[in-house]
Structure 1
Amino acid sequence: MLIGQYFQEKILSSVKCTDKGSAYAKFEWLFGKGLVTSNGQLWKDDRKLLGPSFKLQKLTGFLPYFNKHSKTLVEILTKFQHQATNVYPQLVRATMDFISESAFVQDSTYQINDEDNFLAATHMALTSFRLRLAKPWLAITPKIWDLFGLGKQDKICSQFVNQAMSEAIEKRKIALAQEQKSSSETGENHANQKAFIDVLLDSKSEKEIIGHIMTIFGAAFETTASAMNYTLFLLALNPSAQEKVHFELDSIFGGDKNRDVTLNDLSGMKYLEMCIKEALRVCPPVPVMVRKAQEDIPLDNGQIVPKGCRVVILIREILRDQEHYPDPEVFNPDRFLPDECAARHPFAYIPFAAGQRNCLGMKYALMQMKTCLAHILRRFHVSTSQKRDDISLINGMVMEPKPKLEIVLTPK
């Protein structure tokens, strides 16, 4: 069953429609039973366990990591200035650093280390996921998958991931024991800076922890990098909006291009946030999601979504509904002025999903993107010779532009 704006609130808010459906089972070989793939009571218990990790007071402890790796990214981007460049690969590596260090509280060097096995395994996993979606007949049975050598590749990928994650978990256990000893001696309390992995250590097996960490990577690093990539591209196409962003950042930082971003700075980046939200509307990284009804769900128009029905929610189409977004193809950040948002139905804007299974990492992602883009846009103007009509958006695990987006970075 395909649904649009009229039913999404009913479906997404229903406790009878929280299961993800069989399509997500394709990811279990790497993600295990993490929040993206799990259903039923397991999902409810894990959601309750992990939800507090994404509260704002916990997220503020991640700002030093976001600043650190954003600065590394900016220095790398200076090598590409004055030339048309696809910055997406650099954004992906940066988001991997953000997530890895904020999840494990350990040094992360994906932006500068090309020889990392986990990085190689990540690329292998993405290739596998995209192939399963593009050619589902290959994954009908393990025998067919193995016949083409893909099962062997998945096994190698899993081995790399498990080894890297096991080492990270062991390091974190040692570091946490040392921190707890220090805290007991000094009386200090570091609860607000508690890392995502720490929440899992006392209640989950190593296998379960690896599944949850890989879920965070899989759900966050490509989607966040994609959102930033689209934001930079759309700002490059809309100089007046970009000028407003530069003015806002200059008013906050006083022309200082290197100072760390603070929580107060982030609260002042209202127009930059509006631009990010509009970019997510125009080019949502995840264009489709699926839910499965556990019971019959009556709708207001008298129809019934029957038990076992798969409901496909077309996020991209919902975000182009002219009732809520006149001239939907136009990039207009003013759609997210406070009065505009208040007048719009909350379920008309769902790039992070909504309702029972909304994205736990929404605030984390926005904080990360605002911090990173503030560092980039304090240093560079962005422009492009490409046009919106030049670009096709291809649905997949993450919506991909074809051809790749290219921007020119010009030092301010």
Structure 2
Amino acid sequence: MTKILSSVKCTDKGSAYAKFEWLFGKGLVTSNGQLWKDDRKLLGPSFKLQKLTGFLPYFNKHSKTLVEILTKFQHQATNVYPQLVRATMDFISESAFVQDSTYQINDEDNFLAATHMALTSFRLRLAKPWLAITPKIWDLFGLGKQDKICSQFVNQAMSEAIEKRKIALAQEQKSSSETGENHANQKAFIDVLLDSKSEKEIIGHIMTIFGAAFETTASAMNYTLFLLALNPSAQEKVHFELDSIFGGDKNRDVTLNDLSGMKYLEMCIKEALRVCPPVPVMVRKAQEDIPLDNGQIVPKGCRVVILIREILRDQEHYPDPEVFNPDRFLPDECAARHPFAYIPFAAGQRNCLACSHDWDDRADRVFCVLRTKRTPKKSCTQGSGGRSTYSKPGVLRSILVAKLICYYRPEKFLSGMKYALMQMKTCLAHILRRFHVSTSQKRDDISLINGMVMEPKPKLEIVLTPK
């Protein structure tokens, strides 16, 4: 797997994703080759730390709206997922596209309805591929007409948003020229696109961000709340951590310093992503023959399906994998684990756009480099299954060096904090400062259904009790 994910010869996603160009255009989900590389390079800086710090006011504002809405459902078993979806739509709209967003309070929003309909079509194509063998079969079931209606709604809404942003941007530039201020380094995601892409291309990239981000983030928060409800001791530690940071203040905005202090909450989120990864599989296509360490070759043109959910349940890396145990993400535990043993948001050459890792994960990467370069060769042996194992002294020395680097240069490693993780920590901090969560459901009663995003069946329900 490491060879596949690390290889520059295996970054294409294959022809299956081409069927979704009607929704995503030639965005990062569907594009391959040089086009994908160029767009990735263009859009990547939109999710760096300098941009993320400016997103916090939006995250705080919409998290507070979410908490007020959830207050209406307190003391009763509630499926909070639909409201989490609306909240993440607000996060993305305002932070990435500089657009006032009211998805949480606007029940009649056509764009939200069209997006849900489009993603339902996406899931159906994955779950029942025989329906999409030819357009005639798809149309026979009325699905082509539905796709056309969705596409019209989406394109109209996006065109209006683009035009509104162009007008606002022109006004900002005029104001900047009059005052002498330079905002060139403060460009939002949509501004970068406006400078270099056609309207059709912009819509494709915007829908890629919506499609890839809002359901996965909402799903991750939903699973985190549910698993905390099932594990009162872990929830108590989160409450203690938040109380120590905020001093009992349930309304104060979350700051960047606050986020860096939410270490146990982050561990809980990461463990929830391991137990219930929103995206269960990913597909890669070999552009050339790729030799593997065991002597076998992945032939050119071969599609490789990587089972993320199974990787995250590998007992070699995660003893008792079905147990919810946030301590798996203590720094020492992370450092001793292979970096590709934890890939809830993909990894390697074609990882998630917003997933340059936070400082803990960067420490793991530094450790991996140090482990191979600093550990004496005689301490490296071949374990079972052809895996490399390392003697304790060399490993511990590398862990120590990695930790020291992160301690003395934290700003370097904070600079890649994940956009999604920042959203989740901010939002969950607001929710868990106000509520204790519980549930009458059992994990054994919940099945996870594969799709574009892993769906629980039946729906998860939690009880929100004011603290």
Q: TM-score under structure 1 normalisation?
A: 0.96
Contact 1:130 1:397 (8 Å CA) reproduced: yes
SS at match of 1:302: coil
Q: Quick check: 1:100–1:108 contact (8 Å CA) kept in 2? A: yes
Q: Verify the 8 A CA contact 2:48 2:417 in the aligned structure 1.
A: no
- Distance in 2, matches of 1:323 and 1:308, equals 31
| TM-superposed deviation, 1:120 | 1.3
Structure 2 Cα separation of the partners of residues 205 and 60 of structure 1? 29
Query: For the Cα contact (< 8 Å) 1:118–1:164, is it kept in 2?
Result: yes
Point out the structure with max Rg over C-alpha. Answer: 2
User: Is contact 1:275–1:333 with CA below 8 Å preserved after alignment?
Assistant: yes
How far has the Cα of 1:226 moved from its partner? 0.2
1:61 Cα offset (Å):
0.8
Distance 2:279 2:128 in 1: 19
Match of 1:265 among 243, 258, 264: 258
Superposition deviation, residue 388 in structure 1: 0.7
Task: Note if contact 1:352-1:362 (Cα within 8 Å) is conserved in structure 2.
Answer: no
CA distance in 2, matches of 1:193, 1:353: 28
Q: Deviations over 1:291-350 (max 9, x none)?
A: 000000001110000000000000000000011100100000011011111111101000
Match of 2:443 in 1: 388
C-alpha contact 1:295 1:307 (8 A) present in aligned 2: yes
| TM-aligned CA deviation for residue 194 of structure 1 | 2.1
Rate the CA distance shift 1:279–1:192 in 2: closer, same or farther, 3 A: farther
For residues 350-380 of structure 1, what are the alpha-carbon distances to aligned partners after superposition, in whole Å with 9 as ceiling and x for unaligned?
Answer: 0011110111197100000000000000000
Kindly tell me: are residues 277 and 192 of structure 1, through their superposed partners in 2, closer, same or farther at Cα, counting changes over 3 Å? farther
Deviation at residue 252 of structure 1 after TM alignment: 0.6
**Rounded Cα–Cα distance in structure 2 between residues aligned with 1:309 and 1:279:** 32
Alignment size in residue pairs: 403
CA displacement 1:11-54 (0-9 Å, x = unmatched): 00100000001221232110011111100010000011011111
The answer to whether the 8 Å contact 1:61/1:192 transfers is no
- List gaps (5 residues or longer) in structure 2: 354-415
- Residue 134 (structure 1) shift: 2.1
Offset, 1:130: 1.8
Deviates more, 1:193-202 or 1:214-223: 193-202
- Where 2:151 maps in the other structure, the secondary structure is helix
Cα distance per residue 1:362-405 (max 9 Å; x no partner) = 71000000000000000000000011101001111100000000
C-alpha distance in 2, partners of 1:319/1:131? 25
Q: 1:178 offset after TM fit, Å?
A: 1.0
- Structure 1 segments, 4+ long, off by >4 Å, are none
- Is the partner of 1:313 in helix, strand or coil? strand
Q: TM-score, normalised by structure 2?
A: 0.85
More divergent stretch after superposition (125-134 vs 198-207): 125-134
Identity %: 100
1:279 to partner: Cα distance: 0.3
Q: Which stretch shows the higher mean deviation, 164-173 or 124-133?
A: 124-133
Farther-moved stretch of structure 1 (90-99 vs 185-194): 185-194
**Contact 1:66–1:371, Cα closer than 8 Å, also in 2:** yes
Between the two structures, name the one with larger relative contact order (CA 8 Å, sep ≥ 6).
1
Q: Is the 8 A contact 2:60 2:427 kept in 1?
A: yes
Distance 1:193-1:370 versus aligned 2 partners, 3 A rule: farther
Q: Which moved more, 1:234-243 or 1:132-141?
A: 132-141
CA deviation profile, 1:235-293 (whole Å, cap 9, x unmatched): 00000100000001011111111111111110111110000000000000001000000
- What is the CA deviation profile of residues 56-105 of structure 1, one whole-angstrom value per residue up to 9, with x for unaligned ones? 11111111111111011000000100000000000000000111111221
Counterpart secondary structure, 1:202: helix
Pair 244,363 (structure 1): closer, same or farther in 2 beyond 3 Å: same
1: CA distance, partners of 2:198 / 2:307: 36
Cα distance in 2 between the residues matched to 1:244 and 1:49: 41
Report SS of the residue matched to 1:316. helix
RMSD: 1.1
